Structures are given as structure tokens and as C-alpha cells.
Amino acid sequence: MKRLLIATGGGDCPGLNAVIRAIVKRASHEKEWEVLGSIQGFNGILWEPQEIIRLDEKTVAGIHYRGGTILETTNRGGPFHWPYRQSDGTWTTADRSDEMIRRLSYMGVDAVVNIGGDGSQRYSQQLFEKGLNIVGVPKTIDNDLSCTDVTFGFQTAVEVVTEAIDKLVTTAQSHNRVFIIEVMGRDAGWIALHASIAGGAEICLIPEIPYDVQAVKEAIERRFVFDRGFCIIVIAEGAMPQGGDVVGTSGEEVGRQQIRLHGAAARLSAELKQAGCTHDVRETILGHLQRGGIPIAYDRVLASQYGIKAFELVKEEKFGQMVAYHHPNVVSVPIAEAIATPNLVTMDSNVLETARGLGICFGD
């Protein structure tokens, strides 16, 4: 019997369960494969006692539309930065990656499928370089992984933001207000950009284009005649003013590597007031609503395609590869290439060109 282990790492994302289901269903056609799942990323392998579950067709029945991940996940710690408390009470981290690979070998695991975003795929690459048979599946609402047209979960997040804009437009119009909607995406402006087009926003502020508050204020004024009018601004959590930096907090969660981004909308609101904007401004932070809940049909299909392809790669022993979507095909690319540079909005992107063509202001 051959053993395949699945792990889901990083922030959760709509479509994770559809990937797990597809892998298990596909593996069930091959009588010699048994599929296991590690709870909370790789933690389940490293915990004492271990938390590993058997995944069969019964376990995954009907989970394709469920949000989150039945395997749970974490974006803290991990095999290379395992947090532990020292005798003086302070926290530090240890590299337990070699031990994890040894444990997998004792468990008789022949291959691992790691479903995760850029951080998780970095781990996949490091583990591959240490000899682990691993395949990556690109997950993230941020769509910031390279070498694939799209990551699953992204379109669902865009849908959530678009629906929110549709709702906020009616209240903005009724009250003659400016609404600032803060959306996720980390250093990438994809969610903000796509939702601004789909939702008909007037202003879109993304990390790739630092904004000038004066330009934003002028774009707002163009939407008002005296005090009548309204304006929708979509701001990515990683957006920043020209000469400024991102807003967020770091060091508040043990084992967390990244800064937690939040506050871009509130900062912009204060900046506008300071710049002399007299309109009523309200802020809405969509936060984890963008990540929770059911995946839209597009993401269910994409996630299922990724799951089936991931199993094929395992079968063909094409390790160190990540599944990817190159329209209209699902292909494989080296994980090393996918993580080499992040997929950010480039100035020649057609989506950006479309937004500019529609008159959306980027604050530049």
C-alpha cells in the first residue's frame, strides 16, 4: 500500500475542501493508494501525540461546497519555525524539518501534497530540497503566486467584495457619503482591482501604486456637485501613501512571521480629513468575510482540477512541482519558479488598463 499525506497550510481559503475531495476521489480509483490528512498544516505530524486522520470517500463526501478546511490550518510556526517557550519564559523557534521528514518516513508516507499559498509553497520547496516527495497546490485569495493564471479562492473573495460594494453603493447614494472599503490581498492589489471594476468603484488604491491623498481628494470632489453625490473607494490592506508604508501590527502572535495588515481605510479617512475633505466618510473593513464561507462554482471547479492534477503528479512522481492553471489547461510548474517572485499587479496589466479606461482613479 502506498501512502499519500495531504496538508493545508496558511490562511484558509474557499475551495480547500474541494481540492482535498478531488485528491481522495481520484486516489480511490487506484487500489494501492491510502490517503492521510495532517491536522493544522504540518503540526499534526509534529505534535505529540500526532494528529493524522485517514481520508476516504466517506470522509470527503459532500465537502466540495464547504468553506474552510476539514484538516484545519495555521499561518504560524511550521516545521522550520516551530515555536517553543524557553525556561526563562520567552518564546523562540526551532527547525524541526529533518525530524518531520523522518517521522513521515516512519509513517510510511510516500508523498505529500501541500495545499497552500506563498509561505506554504516556500516550505514545500525547502522540504523538497531536503528530499521529501512533495507536490504543491496554489491556494490564496490574494492571487499572489506566480506561474499560474489564478489561485483558487481568489474569485470567491472578489465576489464577496463586489457584493459588498453593491450594498454600500445604495447607502452611499442615499446619504451622499464617501465609503472606503478595505479589502485583503497583502502586497497584491488583485482583489481590490477586480472588485473595483466589477463593483463600479470610483477610486481603487493598491499596494503597487502608492497614492497621493490630494489626487484622491480631487477624484472625490469630481463625484460631488456642492454636497450632493457619493463615492466608493476600494483600498487594499497593503496600500500606502506616496513616501509612506503599510499599516498593521507585528509580534503580537507567537510564531507568526508576517505583519498583520489592518488600518489602511482608517488612515485614509484621517488623511482625507486633514487634506480638507468635508464630506461624510465611512469605513467598512471586510476582513475575513472574504475568506470564509462557500466557494463560488468557479473556485470549486478550479480546486477540483487542481486536486486531480496533484494526484496525477504524485503518481508520475513529478515532485517539487506545483499544479498551475494556464488557460485552458491545468499544468505543472517547478515550485521554485512559482515562489521566486510574487505575482503583483504590473503597470502593463490588462486589468489595470481596463480599470483606467473606465476612469477609475488610482490616486497617482
**Catalytic positions:** 142
Burial 241-258 (b: 16+ CB within 10 A, else e): beeeebbeeeeeeeebee
Binding to ligand F6P by CB under 6 A, coded x per residue (else -) over 247-276, reads: -------------xx---------------
Q: How many Å apart are CA 334 and CA 364, to the nearest integer?
A: 36
Tally of residues, the chain: 364
Tell me the closest approach of the beta carbon of residue 138 to ligand F6P, in angstroms: 12
Tell me the closest approach of the beta carbon of residue 201 to ligand F6P, in angstroms: 18
**Nine-digit cell string for 359:** 476612469
Instruction: Choose the binding region for ligand F6P from 27-35, 46-54, 139-147, 323-331 (rule: CB under 6 A).
Output: 139-147
Among 140, 148, 162, 304, binds ligand F6P (CB under 6 A): 140
Instruction: Count Cβ atoms below 10 Å from residue 271 Cβ, excluding itself.
Output: 17
Does residue 122 belong to the site contacting ligand F6P (CB under 6 A)? no
Q: How many Å apart are CA 210 and CA 364, to the nearest integer?
A: 7
Tell me the closest approach of the beta carbon of residue 214 to ligand F6P, in angstroms: 28
On the 0-12 / 13-18 / 19+ scale of CB atoms within 10 A, 51 is middle
Total residues in contact with ligand F6P, by rule CB under 6 A: 13
Residue least distant from ligand F6P (Cβ): 184
Tell me the closest approach of the beta carbon of residue 116 to ligand F6P, in angstroms: 10
Nearest to 18 by CA among 54, 56, 61: 61
Residue among 37 and 189 whose Cβ is closer to ligand F6P: 189
Among 185, 229, 295, 320, binds ligand F6P (CB under 6 A): 185
Binding to ligand F6P by CB under 6 A, coded x per residue (else -) over 310-339, reads: ------------------------------
Residue among 154 and 211 whose Cβ is closer to ligand F6P: 154
Q: 111: helix, coil or strand?
A: strand
Among 9, 77, 79, 117, binds ligand F6P (CB under 6 A): 117
Instruction: Count Cβ atoms below 10 Å from residue 105 Cβ, excluding itself.
Output: 12
Nearest to 10 by CA among 135, 159, 167, 117: 117
Residue among 68 and 307 whose Cβ is closer to ligand F6P: 68
Binding to ligand F6P by CB under 6 A, coded x per residue (else -) over 284-303, reads: -------x------------
Binding to ligand F6P by CB under 6 A, coded x per residue (else -) over 214-253, reads: -----------------------x----------------
Q: How many Å apart are CA 87 and CA 161, to the nearest integer?
A: 46
Residue among 75 and 156 whose Cβ is closer to ligand F6P: 75
Tell me the closest approach of the beta carbon of residue 256 to ligand F6P, in angstroms: 7
Does residue 74 belong to the site contacting ligand F6P (CB under 6 A)? no
Contacts of 349 (CB under 8 A, 6+ apart): none
Instruction: Count Cβ atoms below 10 Å from residue 181 Cβ, excluding itself.
Output: 23
Residue among 195 and 261 whose Cβ is closer to ligand F6P: 261
On the 0-12 / 13-18 / 19+ scale of CB atoms within 10 A, 119 is middle
Tell me the closest approach of the beta carbon of residue 90 to ligand F6P, in angstroms: 22
Task: Please report the DSSP string for 36-66 in residue order.
Answer: EEESTTTHHHHSSS--EEEE-TTTTTT-TT-
**Do you find a cis peptide bond into 328, omega within 30 degrees of 0?**
yes
Does residue 11 belong to the site contacting ligand F6P (CB under 6 A)? yes
Residue among 221 and 253 whose Cβ is closer to ligand F6P: 253
Q: How far is CA 210 from the centre of its chain?
A: 22
Residues in contact with ligand F6P by the rule CB under 6 A: 11, 75, 117, 140-142, 184-186, 237, 260-261, 291
